[in-house]
Amino acid sequence: MPHCLVLGAGGFIGTNLCLALGAAGLQVTGFGRSRPDALAGTRWVHGTLEEAALDPLLGGVDHVFDLIGAGLPNSSNDNPAQIVADAVPAKVRLLEACRRQGVRRFVFASSGGTVYGMSRPTPLDETAPTEPISAYGIGKLVVEKYLSLYSHLYGLDYRVLRIANAYGPHQDPRRGQGLVAAVLRRLLDGAPIEIWGDGLIVRDYIHIDDVVAAMLACLRHEGPGRIFNLGSGVGRSVLDVVRDAARVLDLSPRPLHREARSADVPVNILDSTRLARETGWQPGVGWEDGLRRTADWLAATAPI
């Protein structure tokens, strides 16, 4: 039975991925600072990437999913040097340990929302220029380049998923990264909804079930591609999200406008044709259905 190690398993994507890997009959080890209640039955190693003894952690592991990010996109420019200091040395140590331990495949969660920066036109495919305007996006690209280097030098087999704005169950609305969860939580609580700028910033939203399905597809993939966009291909503004979430809950939103943020690109929509063509993956959760699933989960979860 293949053994999968999920780094950053306590986060939103990691929690859902661990559950899906276990349901698929794979051996799963989660790694992170804290184990969420949903993964109470998952084998767990507590720690941080910077401090972990990596060779023992990776011994006997077939597949690694790296979901650990450095900071958050909108605050990363407050201290750009720290993002590099956090992201690069620990990731290189990780790749060295993967090489020594003979890891068969490394799947990296990159950021389709930040690595392309102000690139045009949309939807963006994987050949679009990568000119990020946040240190977070630069940190993701650095890891992508090191993966390519380790593939060239040592034959490390890897796949990169440049993920759009994921949403769904197990997303913490307080994290500052996850508009859908934040909007739904505030609607449920009767709280005002923060809108940064004019609310016309457009993003590509993809349900977590479709994200996890793509990650599983990356384990089976044997085609030529190594870097894949992962999104719905549909753009929605902040105002669209607020309107649609309010309609699903049959509630009236109370917008609270804030100053626009410098790290927000105006439009980001991803073309996932390469992923669909090479793996057979297709998004399966429609927008309104995804909102309802997320709202139902949040309604059943005590405010946090």
* 283-296 pLDDT, tens digit each: 999 999 999 999 99
User: Is 136 designated active site?
Assistant: yes
Looking at the predicted structure, is the pLDDT value of residue 212 above 90? yes
Taking residues 227-256, report their average pLDDT.
97
* 91-114 pLDDT, tens digit each: 999 999 999 999 999 999 999 999
Looking at the predicted structure, is the pLDDT value of residue 130 above 80? yes
Cβ-contact 282, 276 below 8 angstroms: yes
For residue 70, what are the contacts with CB-CB under 8 A and spacing of at least 6? Answer: 76, 83, 86, 87, 136, 139
Return the biggest CA–CA distance within the chain.
56
| C-alpha–C-alpha distance, residues 270 and 202, integer Å | 11
Q: What pLDDT does 303 receive?
A: 60
The percent of residues in the chain predicted with pLDDT above 70, rounded, is: 99
Question: What Å distances lie between residue 227 and 3, 40, 64, CA to CA?
Answer: 23, 33, 16
Taking residues 50-72, report their average pLDDT.
93
Strand-pair category, 255-258 with 193-196: parallel
* 216-228 pLDDT, tens digit each: 999 999 999 999 9
Domains of the chain with bracketed CATH: 3-167+205-233+269-283 (3.40.50.720)
Taking residues 45-62, report their average pLDDT.
96
Looking at the predicted structure, is the pLDDT value of residue 143 above 80? yes
Catalytic residue from among 116, 136, 146, 205 = 136
Q: How confident is the model at residue 304 (pLDDT cuts 50, 70, 90)?
A: low
Q: How confident is the model at residue 302 (pLDDT cuts 50, 70, 90)?
A: low
Q: How confident is the model at residue 214 (pLDDT cuts 50, 70, 90)?
A: very high
In one-letter notation, the amino acid at residue 257 is H
* 145-195 pLDDT, tens digit each: 999 999 999 999 999 999 999 999 999 998 777 999 999 999 999 999 999
Question: What Å distances lie between residue 23 and 13, 26, 43, CA to CA?
Answer: 15, 8, 14
Taking residues 183-209, report their average pLDDT.
96
Average pLDDT, the chain: 94
Q: What pLDDT does 127 receive?
A: 97
Q: What pLDDT does 82 receive?
A: 82
The percent of residues in the chain predicted with pLDDT above 90, rounded, is: 86
For residue 2, what are the contacts with CB-CB under 8 A and spacing of at least 6? Answer: 26, 27, 62, 63, 219
Q: For the whole model, what pTM was predicted?
A: 0.96
